[in-house]
Amino acid sequence: MSANADAAGLRLDKWLWYARFFKTRALATKAISGGRFRLDGAVMSKPHRRAKPGQVLTFTQGNRIRVVLIAALGTRRGPAADAVLLYDDLAPIVPEADKPRDKPAPIFEDRGAGGGRPTKRQRRETDKLKAGFLEAED
């Protein structure tokens, strides 16, 4: 892009797609329209807003809050190695121990109605649980 194009900026939905935060531009547009994006602290819901280098973008992605500094605009959606150069990640890295667990412990895993017989591993876990419970009653 030329220096004149850099001054004008790039549509935010395009930039998010170029930077590979979203798989399609339509998904980026839908996410921005949901109103959960902040550009330099201002809430926005219009995907046509212009992204410029030096701005800070805050948004949620999955169960993670992303805070990124727009470093460059880019000219195309290239490989992931090039996409990483478009931004600087400012969000603190959360240690694995502090992250919430997505799945319950396997002992309490629900097979659902008609889920069939428990696996050998599930039977062993159930037996351990019952043995611990019976020892606690004595």
Domain ranges of the chain: 3-94, 106-137
User: What is 3-94's CATH superfamily?
Assistant: RNA-binding S4 domain (3.10.290.10)
State the average pLDDT over residues 72-101: 81
CB atoms under 10 Å from CB of 39, counted, come to 19
How many angstroms separate the CA atoms of 87 and 89, rounded? 6
Q: Which residue has the higher pLDDT, 91 or 128?
A: 128
Kind of pairing between the strands at 64-70 and 56-61: antiparallel
**pLDDT at residue 67 is higher than 90:** yes
**pLDDT at residue 107 is higher than 70:** no
Q: Which residue has the higher pLDDT, 68 or 8?
A: 68
User: Is 72 within 8 Å of 53 (Cβ atoms)?
Assistant: yes
pLDDT confidence bin for 86, thresholds 50/70/90: very high
Q: Which residue has the higher pLDDT, 116 or 25?
A: 25
State the average pLDDT over residues 124-130: 88
User: Is 12 within 8 Å of 39 (Cβ atoms)?
Assistant: yes
Six-digit token pair at 84?
């990483």
pLDDT of residue 2: 47
pLDDT of residue 1: 47
What integer best gives the mean pLDDT of the chain?
Answer: 82
